[in-house]
Chain A
Amino acid sequence: DTAVSQTPKYLVTQMGNDKSIKCEQNLGHDTMYWYKQDSKKFLKIMFSYNNKELIINETVPNRFSPKSPDKAHLNLHINSLELGDSAVYFCASRPWTSGIRGTQYFGPGTRLLVL
Chain B
Amino acid sequence: QQPVQSPQAVILREGEDAVINCSSSKALYSVHWYRQKHGEAPVFLMILLKGGEQKGHDKISASFNEKKQQSSLYLTASQLSYSGTYFCGTEKGGGADGLTFGKGTHLIIQP
Q: Which residues of A contact B (CB under 8 A)?
A: 31, 33, 35, 40-45, 47-48, 50, 53, 55, 57, 90, 92, 94, 96, 101, 103-109
Contact = CB atoms under 8 A, between A and B. Distances in A.
Given A41-B104, A43-B87, A103 B97 contact: no
Greatest chain B CB density within 10 A among A47, A55, A104 is at: A104
A48 B98 contact: yes
Interface residues of B, number: 23
Main secondary structure of the interface of A (DSSP, over half): strand
Interface of B: 30, 32, 34, 36, 40-44, 47, 85, 87, 89, 91, 95-101, 103-104
Nearest to B100: A45
A103 B98 CA distance: 11
